[in-house]
Structure 1
Amino acid sequence: MILSSASHLFSCFCIKGEGGIGTAFVYHKNGLTLFVTAQHVLGHAVAGGFIYVKKPSGWAKFELNGVTSHPAGQDAATFGLVDFDITISHKFSYPGESPLALGQEIKFIGFPHGLENTASSPSGFSTPLVRTAFFSGVIIDPSTGKKLLILDGLNNPGYSGGPVWAPGPTQDEPTLLGLISGYRIEDRGKSLVYELSEAGERPTDNLFVKLNSGIIHAIDYADLMVLLDLSEDFNTTK
């Protein structure tokens, strides 16, 4: 079983960028902190622009001091904020320390549709919701040629950019498996809208529904490390 500790919850933030509402989490590098999220949440944001971080009382506006996109175009990015000096410490282990089996239970954390837990973090920011999924495997996306983790579960808009945790050496030290990117919609042929006629049910010609297939796309840990090795956009204080 994986139980997220308070420090893991408080290191996740609800953000609003050009691409809408998503999730970002804090990563420590060289003793400093930066944020990791999905690229599509940030859109075309650059240093000098702004991003919003959610508090129970509303959105707080922060200036970006830099954004680093994944060099191979994966849906992952890092960013730093100006005048963000909250101390956040949490531990996580690495994939090599704990074998992961197909069908293994995992957890992912975030803010579906911008929803948040009732209690704010000690620093006054909104805290995320936790969801369970199962590790299905790794594929090469035929549409992009990029590697994706495939999780079996139900994802919603707003989780994008949130961390994926697998079991670690201790309950308080889960393994960082990857980052939520999105979900696959059902094939159009399985999503047609039907109408009643004298002959019975028949599919409409131009209507279909983009159903959530229950297949979650995530960026894996190795791709995150490629990005983080390049990232120098740390949170700073004025």
Structure 2
Amino acid sequence: MIPSDVLGRVYCLKIGDSTATGFAIDVDNRQYIVTAKHFAINLSDGTPLQLMFEGKWNNLGGTLVGHASGEIDISVLTLDGIASNPDLKLIPDQAILYGQDVYFVGYPYGSWGDSKTAFIGRPIPFVRKAIVSCVEDGPNGEHRNFLDGHNVPGFSGGPVVYSANPPYDFKVTSVISGYKFVEQPVYIGTKKTDATVQYNTGIIITYGIRHALDLINSNPIGAVIKK
């Protein structure tokens, strides 16, 4: 169902002890890596960006394009070279509808599959399905899409995609940030304790891809795609 145009642009990234997901998009003949700001902010202390390839972490010559402002959980990076084949098409587009099926792709808890040959050394990402549950434009210009599904750590920074023209024409509409949780009391048998646990509500928080495009347009330094 999910075509190579999507899978071939998703990466497992690491900064220090933190892992997350990132994905490549092409804008004006340049390529960029989009990920979550709460992950990429760790680049500020000089810790290198690493990418999982052929079963090991490889240091990348990544440069920060920009962090989105305020609570918008998106950062854009550029590498010294092209990460994804430009023939793989993944177009940014926010033309989604309430209740629409979407998919998100990434590496939960830094986990992946291994196909030996199909991904040419890259780890195979996990795919999960959700629906568009709510859309919000915040007071400071932030655009959020709330999804109904089940997200876990590691998917942060991954693309939310939908099929604009089934079955294979997929577009990226937003970037995974996290999930809404509520504090629930812990019981021992029927006795309520003072302890609480963070309960995953199934509400996934994502930020619109337009924020990544704003960062790119304000600082267009991506790796040049040679024709």
TM-score of the superposition, structure 2-length normalised? 0.86
State the match for 1:194 in structure 2: 187
Give structure 2 stretches of 5+ with no counterpart: none
Aligned residue number for residue 110 of structure 2: 114
Q: Which residue of 2 is the match for residue 150 of structure 1? A: 146
* Aligned-partner Cα distance in 2 for 1:19–1:138: 33
**Structure 2 vs 1, CA of residues 116 and 167 (structure 1 numbering), >3 Å: closer, same or farther?**
same
1:210–1:150 distance in 2 versus 1, CA, 3 Å = same
Higher Cα Rg, which structure: 1
The 5 Å alignment of 1:203-214 reads: 203-205=192-194, 207-214=195-202
AA aligned to 1:215 is I
Paired with 2:84 and 2:92, the residues of 1 have a C-alpha distance of 24
Correspondences of 1:89-128 after superposition (within 5 Å) = 89-93=87-91, 95=93, 100-119=96-115, 122-128=119-125
Q: CA deviation at 1:64?
A: 2.0
- Partner amino acid, structure 2, of 1:76: I
Instruction: Give 1:118 deviation, angstroms.
Output: 2.0
Residues 35, 175 of structure 2: 8 Å contact kept: yes
Query: Where do 4+ consecutive residues of structure 1 move more than 4 Å?
Result: 46-49, 83-86, 120-123
Once the two structures are TM-superposed, the CA of residue 73 in structure 1 deviates from its matched residue by: 4.3
> Structure 1 residues 61, 25: closer, same or farther in 2, change over 3 A?
same
Q: Which amino acid aligns with 2:136?
A: I
Shift in Å, 1:37? 0.5
Unmatched runs of 5 consecutive residues or more in structure 1: none
Deviation at 1:234, TM superposition (A): 2.0
Q: What does residue 61 of structure 2 align with?
A: 63
Asked whether the 8 Å contact 1:163–1:178 carries over to 2, the reply is yes
SS in 2 for 1:124: coil
SS class of match (2:43) = coil
1:231 to 1:128, Cα distance in 2 relative to 1, 3 A: farther
Answering whether residue 29 of structure 2 is matched by residue 40 of structure 1, we say no
The question of 1:178 aligning with 2:166 is answered no
Letter of the 1:192 counterpart: P
- CA RMSD, 1 decimal: 2.7
AA paired with 1:107? Answer: Y
Aligned residues: 224
* 8 Å contact kept, 2:8–2:84: no
**Structure 1 range deviating more: 155-164 or 110-119:** 110-119
Rounded to whole Å, the distance in 2 between the matches of 1:83 and 1:47 is 23
Match 1:129 to one of 122, 126, 129: 126
- Asked whether the equivalents of residues 11 and 88 of structure 1 are also in contact (C-alpha less than 8 Å), the reply is no
Alpha carbons of structure 1 residues 51 and 125: separation in structure 2 relative to 1, 3 Å: same
The one-character-per-residue Cα deviations of 1:18-66 (angstroms, maximum 9, x if unpaired) are: 5711100001122121100011111241496511101242111112233
- Aligned equivalent of 2:3: 5
> In the aligned structure 1, how far is the partner of 2:92 from the partner of 2:35?
18
Question: Does the Cα contact within 8 Å between 2:155 and 2:176 map onto a contact in 1?
Answer: yes
**Does 2:196 correspond to 1:166?**
no
CA distance 1:194–1:90, shift in 2 (3 Å): same
Residues 191-222 of structure 1: per-residue CA shift (max 9 Å, x gap)? 100124xxxx23112x1111211110000133
Contact 1:116–1:126 (CA under 8 A) maintained in structure 2? yes
- Counterpart of 1:182, as a letter, is G
Tell me how far apart the structure 2 counterparts of residues 56 and 210 of structure 1 sit (CA, whole Å).
35
Answer whether contact 2:22 2:33 (CA < 8 A) is retained: yes
Q: Distance in 1 between matches of 2:85 and 2:2?
A: 19
Please state how far the C-alpha of 1:93 moved relative to its aligned partner.
4.4
Q: Distance in 2 between matches of 1:47 and 1:89?
A: 35
